[in-house]
Amino acid sequence: MGTPEQTACGRRILLVLSGGIAACKAPDLIRSLRERGFSVRCVMAQAAAQFVTPLTVSALSGDTVYQDLFSLTDEAQMGHIRLSREADLVLVAPCTASLMARMATGLADDLASTVLLATDKPVMIAPAMNTKMWEHPATQANRSTLLERGIRIIEPGVGELACGEYGVGRMAEVPGIVAAVEAHFRLHQSRFVLSGLRALVTSGPTIEAIDPVRFISNHSSGRQGHAVAAALATLGADVTLVHGPVSLPAPPGVSAVPVQSAREMLQACLSVIEEGKVDVAVCVAAVADWYAHYTSSKIKKGQDPAPLSLSLHPNPDILATLSRPGPHRPRLVIGFAAETGDLVEQARAKRQRKGCDWICANDVSPGTGTFGGMRNTVYLVTETTEEYWPAMDKTEVADRLVRSVASALGYASSVSSAAEKVS
């Protein structure tokens, strides 16, 4: 881990101030970032000027403050596209409910939202709003959308709000925001720590066709598997993601192989493994346990519908197959186990039965919201250790798992997580 100056090392932050009372923390934030060695350029939404003057922001940042999408002077000096690209990180603090909504829907109706739509740089937001606004399903849906797109969220804290109410919604304190920014750049510095590592990840459900219109499947969203693939790729690993039908896009930098059935998933995995040595395989897919004999024309109900019997055959076990000893066996094979009780006992037994090295047991009991949701609670069971990871975002589970993989395989054990305080 470097000194603050090494972490900052002249990194440029584009700070977007949206119009909330927390904008009055901007002077302190700008000062703290600059003290840590970052250069800061600011974009202010019109309403932000109600809480802090552009003159103060300009004086503290030592740069012009950009406010107006249609300002001839600003555009001539620095077009909004250039503004959005000439930064190493775009930080939105405070981020109002309105700006979160506009970011989630892709609106570009002022300079702040246009810059956020046009940027090709990492974006981090520090939301600040009234508790009810934060808890509103619309804001929570926007939060999920932004997280899925890779935007880092510095979660708001609990406390007294400007409106006099008490609850969650206060913008994170300045030291927390600065720490999240530094954690981001530390992760960035360790970006190529896994280069040379070849990884295979399975994700999503499989679907087993019964006839041309019907199939057997499950509710897996693919979020956890895709997050593991993304975390590996972010650190420079060469990742192949074999996935069943999901509505998520493949993470950037990952080579995606879409499949339908478990048998196709197994074939795709074997091809990847036979192509060249895979160092780590992470089987996150919720593979359907059975397939039915396929009827090539639609099965008719008939005039007087009678019960239909399907004969189901067990699918091949991909995790167990990849775990078998042999020249192609990855050095580390990891499975996930969705359980509803006796998590650790079940995980220990499953690790033995499948022959894999690690099992991440996750609780999918009704009410946990794990299946299809954003968060996960995991027990990591290895040959010699058992670790409990409290409920956290699936992206954080992925970051943490990848750090464990990196140190187990002898890659830099100092891979740091950007996820401290950040989801």
Contact predicate 229/241, CB 8 Å: yes
- 163, 269, 283, 356: which is the annotated catalytic residue? 163
CA angle 388, 220, 124 (to 5 degrees): 65
Is the CB of 128 or the CB of 338 nearer to ligand C5P? 338
Is the CB of 97 or the CB of 239 nearer to ligand C5P? 239
Task: Return binding residues.
Answer: 289, 298, 316-319, 336, 350, 354
Nearest CA-CA partner of 36 in 180, 225, 199, 210: 180
Nearest CA-CA partner of 117 in 109, 129, 125: 109
Contact predicate 161/133, CB 8 Å: no
The DSSP-derived string for 298-346 is PPP--SS--PPP--EEEPP-HHHHHHS-STT--SEEEEEEEESS-HHHH
How many whole angstroms separate alpha carbon 201 and alpha carbon 242? 6
| Smallest distance from ligand C5P to CB 283, Å | 4
How many whole angstroms separate alpha carbon 64 and alpha carbon 42? 8
| Smallest distance from ligand C5P to CB 310, Å | 18
Is the CB of 272 or the CB of 318 nearer to ligand C5P? 318
Name the residue type at position 64.
T
Is the CB of 16 or the CB of 283 nearer to ligand C5P? 283
163 carries an active-site annotation = yes
Task: Return binding residues for CTP.
Answer: 289, 298, 316-319, 336, 350, 354
How many whole angstroms separate alpha carbon 293 and alpha carbon 313? 8
Is the CB of 151 or the CB of 283 nearer to ligand C5P? 283
| Smallest distance from ligand C5P to CB 266, Å | 8
| Smallest distance from ligand C5P to CB 247, Å | 19
| Smallest distance from ligand C5P to CB 284, Å | 6
Contact predicate 17/93, CB 8 Å: yes
Residues in a beta bridge with 313: 291
Is the CB of 182 or the CB of 317 nearer to ligand C5P? 317
How many whole angstroms separate alpha carbon 157 and alpha carbon 25? 14
Number of Cα atoms under 13 Å in the Cβ half of residue 168: 11
The CA-atom distances, in angstroms, between 160 and each of 11, 141, 163, 363 are 33, 24, 8, 34
Question: Which residues contribute to the site for ligand C5P (CB under 6 A)?
Answer: 202, 262, 283-285, 287, 315, 317-319, 335-337
| Smallest distance from ligand C5P to CB 419, Å | 23
Supply the residues annotated as catalytic: 163
